[in-house]
Amino acid sequence: MTVHSTALRANPWLTRTARIEDVIGEISGVCTYRLTVSDKNGGASYGFAPGQFNMLYLPGVGESAISMSGDPARTDSWIHTVRVAGNVTKTLAGLGRGDTLGLRGPFGTGWPHEELIGNDIVIVAGGLGMAPLRPLIYQLMSQRDKFNRIWLICGARSFDGLLYVREYNTWRKGGIDVQLTVDRATDGWAGHVGVVTLLIDRLQLPRPEQTYLVACGPEVMMKYAAASGIRLGIAEKRIWVSLERNMRCAAGLCGHCQLGPEFICKDGPVLRYDRIRKYLFVEQL
């Protein structure tokens, strides 16, 4: 089941004023923001499905799609982890506690939570791809007995590129087999070196036919992660990826984020692999 946003059904153009409550420095060039919105009627709802995103608007600069990266059970704010990339994110990096920005959302589809129940799950995160997967991890941990084995395979260029390292022990204690790898070993790193697919390839899946693979990261990583999953016996229809395309309206109208017949903003960003595989292999699409 895919989760469609209530914002799309209501008014996708409604930009609310969001206040920055906290800023946490994560890794170089990446910060996590806690945002609250004030609605005219006084109440604000922070519901979202893990995998969904908001559009953050910096007046006079522009708007960017940014995934939810916090706990979906949290009802007091939205959490976003943002890497400085260009104008919008650079301007955001110059803001601090108490500053305001515009916000539309939530938009898009979520990870297939209901389908995952009763299954084994391989979560694959590359770099900042960890951000939209963290809400899923919180959700799975809060209902841990509903799922069987859970692996988190997490990769980054080097150790200082791994996101949310402070939480890995909690996740491990919560029953998630966290496995890390880096492309380049730096001083003090005694763990695995190599791409995430190497770790996927050596998994001993007890029941591949009842295993899901969910992935977010660079597109090339997701293609190879899917191929590794398929080699291990995971069906394509049990593989889900979160895709990123430059987007503008977030409401399926402008066409900026179109991939084949899919609008990543409303049919995605989380899509079943068999639905989009053939478009991922067409260059420049």
Ligand X SMILES: Cc1cc2nc3c(=O)[nH]c(=O)nc-3n(C[C@H](O)[C@H](O)[C@H](O)COP(=O)(O)OP(=O)(O)OC[C@H]3O[C@@H](n4cnc5c(N)ncnc54)[C@H](O)[C@@H]3O)c2cc1C
Number of Cβ within 10 Å of residue 59's Cβ equals 11
Instruction: In angstroms, give the least distance from the CB of 86 to ligand X.
Output: 2
- Residues in contact with ligand X, counted by CB under 6 A, come to a total of 23
Phi, psi of 79 (to 5 degrees): -115, 135
Binding flag, residue 248, ligand X (CB under 6 A): no
Query: Residue 267 CB, nearest distance to ligand X (Å)?
Result: 12
Please identify, using beta-carbon distances, which residue of 49 and 199 lies nearer to ligand X.
49
DSSP class of residue 89 equals: H
Buried b / exposed e over 74-96, threshold 16 CB at 10 Å, is: beebbbbbbbeeeebbebbbeee
* Alpha-carbon dihedral 5, 32, 100, 77, rounded to 10 degrees: 50
Residue number, 53 or 78, with CB nearest to ligand X: 53
For residues 138 and 146, what is the distance between their CA atoms, to the nearest angstrom? 13
Q: Does 271 bind ligand X (CB under 6 A)?
A: no
Judged by beta carbon, residue 125 or residue 234, the one nearer ligand X is 125
Q: Which stretch binds ligand X (CB under 6 A): 80-88, 117-125, 138-146, 150-158?
A: 80-88
CA geometry: angle 274, 280, 284, nearest 5 deg: 160
Cβ 249 to ligand X, closest distance in Å?
Answer: 12
Residue with tokens 């409401």: 251
With respect to ligand X, which residue has the nearer C-beta, 85 or 117? Answer: 85
Site string for ligand X, 57-76 (x = CB under 6 A): -----x-xxxx-x-------
Closest to ligand X by CB, 64 or 179: 64
Q: Contacts with ligand X in 101-130 (CB under 6 A)?
A: 128
Q: Figure out which of the listed residues 27, 82, 122, 213 binds ligand X, where binding follows CB under 6 A.
A: 82
CA 250 to chain CA centroid, Å, is 16
Q: Positive or negative CA dihedral for 107, 167, 158, 125?
A: negative
Interaction site with ligand X (CB under 6 A): 53, 62, 64-67, 69, 81-83, 85-90, 128, 131, 244-247, 269
